[in-house]
Amino acid sequence: MTLLLEKHISAVVPGKKGLRIQDYCGMYLTRGAGYVKTPAMRGEIWGERPRLFEVRKRGVCMKGYRGTILRVDLTTRSIQRQDIPEFLKRSFIGGKGFGTWLSVQENPPETGPLSPENKIIIVTGPGAGTSLPTAVRSGFFAKAPLNGVILESYVGGSFGHFMKRAGYDVIIVEGAAATPVFLKIIDDQVTIEDASQLWGRDIYETEEELKALLGVQARVLAIGPAGERLIRFACIGHDRNRHFGRMGSGAVMGSKKLKAIAVVGTGRVEVHDPEGLSAYVKDLSRRIREHPGTGVVYPTAGTVNFVAKANALGVFPSHYWHRGEAKHRERIDFDAMSATTLVRQTRCHGCSIGCAHINRIKDGPHAGIEIDGPEYETIYVFGGLCDVGDIRDIIKLNDLCDRLGVDTMHTGNLLGLLMDATEQGRLPDIYRIKFGDTALMIEVIEKLVSREGEWRLLGEGVLTVAERFGLQDLAIHVKGLEPAGYDPRGLNSMAMAYGVGNRGATHLDSNAYARDISGTARDFELAGEDKSVDRFSMGRKAELVYNMINFNAIADCFTFCRFLNRDLLTWEDYTEVLFLLTGMRRSSEQLLEIANNIVTLGRWYNIGLGLSKEDDFLPERFYCEPSAQGTLEGRTVSKRGYQQELEQYYALRNWDNRGIPRFYPHGYGG
């Protein structure tokens, strides 16, 4: 029931009497027709809603943006260009802000993740397409096939940079094609093309074919057979080994019969102060070189540096979350990689850090395989959770997952669960698999992607598998998302971060493990003189994690890489960069408010799904089952301490003690 003309509407937010309509200036239209009456709270937010955008005459666009949403409907084959409302730029900046707000508007909680109604929303930030280091990333938002919350995933490489140069801040793909297609974007020429010949091909082949067709300057997002067959943890590959990895983005594309998106972008992104930005980038490049993390550790060993460190600290999740150290650590760490497979360093487009590595298997049964990887998280799942004791086997598994298009973190967690259940005698014969059995792991991955017969079940993901075999007490996840490679029993800041994450147990919302390990918070992360962080105590974790999540939320609005913002950038950097790019002035306090608005919007979405405080707790095993060996032996997370900090976290966000926000983040009006 819409009582206003669509063209006047920018947003719909809940008010005391029902939904309130907001116009493009962020003003409420509260008189008479300004309300849409709806019944209950859930319906109040997610009730009948008007279509939010209309094609408008192009006006002058704020610098730093191209000002355009490309909207493609695969059902009707319509292609539209729509202006991004000023309200959206001013209130949510870009990237994560755009993605979260658009998800709430476009994909209400009742949306079926594999239905044509689930819209793909690909976002960039105001820094994309410019010379700003690492701001090449793009974000993928949709309703998640894996666990039903907002799918939020980021990829490096080069797609975001060239999508922006092609003229688009946001791409929305809705509906579903009847037969396989790919989306071809060459600047303002956008067409939906037949992809029948590509259907069934792996991700590497698809990317190569499209580059052969469109030229090497084409940047490609592609799915493999896993995405086509709707595996709920299928990923999207890009630039060979970069991924929108977690939560099932590949399955969303597969459900639309969308095999790939290829972009060629040659336009320029104008910024508010080009000279100022150039001076800023020069200085930032110097800071990157001089910083021990971005100047030494990451360019040398990348994320793999953490394998040895995590083992030494006893927080390298092993033997499906029973141990904190891998017995074979010296065969899977960076030294092992350097000695056996390392070829050279590589990097995302225009990045001056360069944390990635090309590896090639030179001997043994998998000789000849060459990949960009593996990253720490892939080594943790296969080398840790599944006890694979040879870096070459891990590279083989990584290559297989990347070709077929399943995310390594979800795949490794699922196989680890099967291994643990096998050891405990809790699985039917067909699914039994022993820890460290690489040959069988390869077979199982191929079978689960085939989705044939009994193997279909595994493609449904950890929640369904655990439920089917009564393994709920064993399976490790929060809100259906498995954790990254940091054992919270020895990293209590991560315990808090895993629990409160809107998408589940992600490490990327906060990177809190970094403070657990260094033992010190940055100035803005903890108030007062005492900046110490005790990784074995829940004390002050709410404050730390609240500040870290907010800081990262703004980094994701610009789509900065984590390795840049985590230890090097400051709130002052954000305010300066925003001004140089767009001319918008926002103080640190105002950016903090925007960050809290974005996180709270995601929370409203979860409330709309029926999630509650109970879903913010960790799996019971972390509270009750001590890690079995090494530094962490005997350690658990204090549930009492966790609960106290959880309520403190809610209070910092202005949510009540049930975790329900006391306000609706309608945007920042200035």
What's the closest the beta carbon of residue 67 comes to ligand SF4, in angstroms? 25
Bridge partners, residue 87, by sequence: none
**Closer to ligand SF4 at the Cβ: 140 or 298?**
298
What's the closest the beta carbon of residue 354 comes to ligand SF4, in angstroms? 5
What's the closest the beta carbon of residue 351 comes to ligand SF4, in angstroms? 3
What's the closest the beta carbon of residue 146 comes to ligand SF4, in angstroms? 23
The one segment of 351-359, 492-500, 516-524, 655-663 that binds ligand SF4 by CB under 6 A:
351-359
Tell me which residues in 122-141 interact with ligand SF4 (CB under 6 A): 134
Task: Verify binding: residue 323, ligand SF4, rule CB under 6 A.
Answer: no
Q: How many CB atoms lie under 10 A from the CB of residue 401?
A: 31
Amino acid, res. 635? R
Buried (b) or exposed (e) across 160-194, using 16+ Cβ within 10 A? bbbbbbbbbbbbbbbbbbeebbbbbbbeeebebee
What's the closest the beta carbon of residue 353 comes to ligand SF4, in angstroms? 4
What's the closest the beta carbon of residue 523 comes to ligand SF4, in angstroms? 23
Q: Cis ω on the peptide bond leading into residue 374 (within 30° of 0)? A: yes
**Closer to ligand SF4 at the Cβ: 199 or 298?**
298
The one segment of 6-14, 354-362, 484-492, 635-643 that binds ligand SF4 by CB under 6 A:
354-362
Task: Verify binding: residue 351, ligand SF4, rule CB under 6 A.
Answer: yes
Q: Give the torsion through C-alpha atoms of 367, 370, 371, 377, to 10 deg.
A: 20
Among 563, 574, 622, 668, binds ligand SF4 (CB under 6 A): 563
DSSP characters over 161-222: HHHHHHT-SEEEEES--SS-EEEEEETTEEEEEE-TTTTT--HHHHHHHHHHHH-TT-EEEE
The one segment of 63-71, 249-257, 347-355, 582-590 that binds ligand SF4 by CB under 6 A:
347-355
DSSP characters over 321-374: TTBSS-TTGGGTSHHHHHHHTEEEEE-STT-SS--EEEEE--SSTTTT-EEE--
Task: Verify binding: residue 354, ligand SF4, rule CB under 6 A.
Answer: yes
What's the closest the beta carbon of residue 237 comes to ligand SF4, in angstroms? 15
Amino acid, res. 352? S
Task: Verify binding: residue 155, ligand SF4, rule CB under 6 A.
Answer: no
Tell me which residues in 280-299 interact with ligand SF4 (CB under 6 A): 298
Task: Verify binding: residue 353, ligand SF4, rule CB under 6 A.
Answer: yes
Closest by CA to 59, choosing from 50, 68, 51, is 68
The one segment of 346-354, 395-403, 416-424, 609-617 that binds ligand SF4 by CB under 6 A:
346-354
**Closer to ligand SF4 at the Cβ: 121 or 353?**
353
Please tell me the distance from the alpha carbon of residue 50 to that of residue 424, in angstroms, as a whole number: 53
**Closer to ligand SF4 at the Cβ: 134 or 510?**
134
Among 126, 156, 248, 602, binds ligand SF4 (CB under 6 A): 156
Q: 483 by DSSP, 3-state: which?
A: coil
The one segment of 116-124, 228-236, 343-351, 624-632 that binds ligand SF4 by CB under 6 A:
343-351
The tokens for 157 are 């490489």
DSSP characters over 575-621: HHHHHHHH-----HHHHHHHHHHHHHHHHHHHHHHT--GGGGSPPHH
Among 347, 396, 489, 515, binds ligand SF4 (CB under 6 A): 347
What's the closest the beta carbon of residue 211 comes to ligand SF4, in angstroms? 20
Handedness of CA 112, 114, 117, 121 (dihedral sign): positive
Please tell me the distance from the alpha carbon of residue 279 to that of residue 528, in angstroms, as a whole number: 33
- Give the x/- contact pattern for ligand SF4 in 577-616, rule: CB under 6 A: ----------------------------------------
What's the closest the beta carbon of residue 304 comes to ligand SF4, in angstroms? 12
Closest by CA to 69, choosing from 87, 48, 84, is 84
Question: Which H helix or E strand runs over 261?
Answer: strand 258-264
What's the closest the beta carbon of residue 389 comes to ligand SF4, in angstroms? 27
Buried (b) or exposed (e) across 299-328, using 16+ Cβ within 10 A? bebbbbbbbbebbebbbbbbbbbbbbbbeb
Closest by CA to 155, choosing from 202, 189, 110, 203, is 203
**Closer to ligand SF4 at the Cβ: 101 or 574?**
574
**Closer to ligand SF4 at the Cβ: 337 or 495?**
337
Task: Verify binding: residue 355, ligand SF4, rule CB under 6 A.
Answer: yes
Please tell me the distance from the alpha carbon of residue 260 to that of residue 199, in angstroms, as a whole number: 10
Closest by CA to 632, choosing from 308, 318, 306, is 318
> For residues 138 and 154, is the Cβ–Cβ distance under 8 A?
yes
> For residues 59 and 66, is the Cβ–Cβ distance under 8 A?
no
Could you tell me which residues come within 8 angstroms of residue 253 by beta carbon, excluding any fewer than 6 positions away? Answer: 120, 221, 223, 227, 236, 259
**Closer to ligand SF4 at the Cβ: 486 or 563?**
563
DSSP 123: E
Task: Verify binding: residue 561, ligand SF4, rule CB under 6 A.
Answer: yes
The one segment of 5-13, 345-353, 482-490, 586-594 that binds ligand SF4 by CB under 6 A:
345-353
**Closer to ligand SF4 at the Cβ: 380 or 642?**
380
Q: 524 by DSSP, 3-state: which?
A: coil
**Closer to ligand SF4 at the Cβ: 158 or 318?**
158
Tell me which residues in 72-101 interact with ligand SF4 (CB under 6 A): none
Helical residues (DSSP H) of 359-475, grouped into ranges: 376-379, 391-404, 408-423, 438-450, 462-468
Task: Verify binding: residue 356, ligand SF4, rule CB under 6 A.
Answer: yes
What's the closest the beta carbon of residue 292 comes to ligand SF4, in angstroms? 14
Q: How many CB atoms lie under 10 A from the CB of residue 75?
A: 12
**Closer to ligand SF4 at the Cβ: 331 or 347?**
347
**Closer to ligand SF4 at the Cβ: 46 or 298?**
298
Tell me which residues in 242-281 interact with ligand SF4 (CB under 6 A): none
Among 170, 230, 235, 348, binds ligand SF4 (CB under 6 A): 348
Total residues contacting ligand SF4 (rule CB under 6 A)? Answer: 12
What's the closest the beta carbon of residue 507 comes to ligand SF4, in angstroms? 14
Binding region for ligand SF4 (CB under 6 A): 134, 156, 298, 347-348, 351, 353-356, 561, 563
